[in-house]
């Protein structure tokens, strides 16, 4: 995107009714590595591709645990994601301290969206340049939400964000009707197949080092699967002839 006279601050509207700084923040989400989320009636799953700045650096964390029943995958600016995830953790702790119960997933997502929206209308601030896929399980069942820098949030059966996420979305659009009654293992397989679509089916596109998985659901606290633990899941999709 090229600079113009209407993108100097967040309070300036263009004649076409656009706020360019919000669009720039949305573009930052599109530049992040791919994150995929799927859910059934009882479980929710995240799958992500991690990036590394170079051969001498480790991979950046893409999935963050918020509480025993909730976690997020991030696409965009990691520093902004750290701020939002810390806010979400504090909200969960405060709720548990006051009410002695876990916070509803939808309620927390709305608070994050409200916090993001404030940064789209007050002078001297900028929108958060990160998108979140939030999974969780509460008394209302399993949930998958997406939050945006604009302050919007959406409830999904399945969703993908980040670079080349359209390929993953195409797979999810073909398969999402199977998710509601799918088992946890099937959900993980579908999430990994959708994630693999974003890599262009490269043989080295998904490895133990750069793939992260997270699961949560009924009688299943939030669990992050990383490193060597992902090998058993990746081996199941290697050579699998599932139709896409």
- pLDDT tens digit string along 63-101? 999 999 999 999 999 999 999 999 999 999 999 999 999
For the chain, the straight-line distance linking the first and the last C-alpha, in angstroms and rounded, comes to 34
**Angle CA 150–40–161, to nearest 5:** 30
Q: What is the pLDDT of residue 203?
A: 47
241 pLDDT above the threshold of 80 = no
Average model confidence (pLDDT) across the chain:
92
Give per-residue pLDDT as tens, 157-191.
999 999 999 999 999 999 999 999 999 999 999 99
As given in the structure block, the two tokens for residue 190 are 């579908």
**Which one has a higher pLDDT value, 241 or 140?**
140
Band (pLDDT 50/70/90 cuts) for residue 240 is: low
Residues 6 or more apart in contact with residue 25 via CB below 8 angstroms:
76, 126, 127, 128, 129, 149, 150
204 pLDDT above the threshold of 70 = no
Residues 6 or more apart in contact with residue 227 via CB below 8 angstroms:
208, 209
Q: What is the pLDDT of residue 242?
A: 46
Angle subtended by helix axes 105-118 and 78-99, to nearest 10: 130
């Amino acid at each position: 995107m090229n600079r113009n006279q209407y993108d100097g601050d967040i309070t300036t509207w263009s004649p076409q009714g656009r706020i360019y700084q919000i669009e720039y923040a949305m573009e930052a989400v599109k530049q992040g590595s791919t994150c995929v989320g799927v859910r059934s009636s009882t479980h929710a799953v995240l799958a992500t591709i991690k990036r590394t700045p170079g051969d001498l650096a480790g991979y950046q964390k893409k999935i963050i645990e918020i509480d025993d029943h909730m976690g997020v995958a991030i696409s965009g600016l990691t520093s902004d994601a750290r701020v939002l995830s810390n806010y979400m953790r504090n909200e969960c702790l405060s709720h548990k301290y006051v009410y002695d119960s876990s916070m509803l997933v939808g309620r927390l997502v709305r608070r994050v969206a409200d916090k993001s929206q404030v940064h789209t209308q007050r002078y001297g601030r900028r929108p958060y340049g990160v998108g979140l896929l939030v999974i969780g399980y509460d008394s209302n069942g399993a949930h998958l939400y997406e939050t945006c820098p604009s302050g919007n949030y959406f409830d999904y059966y399945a969703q993908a964000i980040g670079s080349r996420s359209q390929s993953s979305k195409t797979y999810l659009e073909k398969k999402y009707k199977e998710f509601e009654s799918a088992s946890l293992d099937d959900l993980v397989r579908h999430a990994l197949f959708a994630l693999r679509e974003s890599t262009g089916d490269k043989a080295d596109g998904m490895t133990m080092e750069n793939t992260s998985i997270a699961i949560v659901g009924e009688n299943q606290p939030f669990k992050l699967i990383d490193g060597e633990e992902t090998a058993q899941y990746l081996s199941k999709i290697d050579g699998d002839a599932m139709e896409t």
